Amino acid sequence: MAKTSRSRRQEKHADDSHPLLDRLKEIASASGLEVREERLYREVGYSVRSGLCRVGEQEVLLLDKNTAAGDRVEVLCSVLSDRDLNSVFIEPELRRQIGGRALLLDENDSAP
C-alpha cells in the first residue's frame, strides 16, 4: 500500500529529532530567548523565513518547521552568535561552532 504525501510529511517531521538542534534550543532558552518551531506559511507577495521577533517584552525565535534540521541549526547558531552567552555553560566545541560574540567572550575570559 502506497503512503500518502501527507503521511510522508508527518513521518519526516516526526523523525526530526536532532541532538545538536535540541542542545542549541536549550542554550537559547537559558539565554532568555523563547524558541518556537512553527509552520511558517508562505503567501503570494511575501517571503517568510526563520528569525527573531518581539512579542511584548519577550524575544521569540521562530524556526520554520518546514525546513531541514540543518537549516534550523544554522539559524540558531547565527542568532546565538550575537547574544551574550557568558552565563550559560556551553561545551567548548559547540561554543566554537556558534562563534561570534559567544566565542569572543569565552576567549577573553581565558586570556592571561
Range of the domain at 17: 12-110
Give mean pLDDT, residues 32-54. Answer: 84
Residue 90 has pLDDT above 90, yes or no: yes
Domain count, the chain: 1
Give mean pLDDT, residues 87-104. Answer: 83
> Tens digit of pLDDT for each residue in 48-86?
788 888 889 899 999 999 899 999 999 999 999 999 898
Residue 101 lies in a domain: yes
Residue 40 lies in a domain: yes
Residue 2 lies in a domain: no
**CA proximity to 98, closest of 16, 37, 21, 19:** 21
Residue 55 lies in a domain: yes
Residue 3 lies in a domain: no
Residue 41 lies in a domain: yes
Residue 84 lies in a domain: yes
Task: Give the torsion through C-alpha atoms of 103, 67, 38, 63, to 10 deg.
Answer: 10
Give mean pLDDT, residues 11-15. Answer: 46
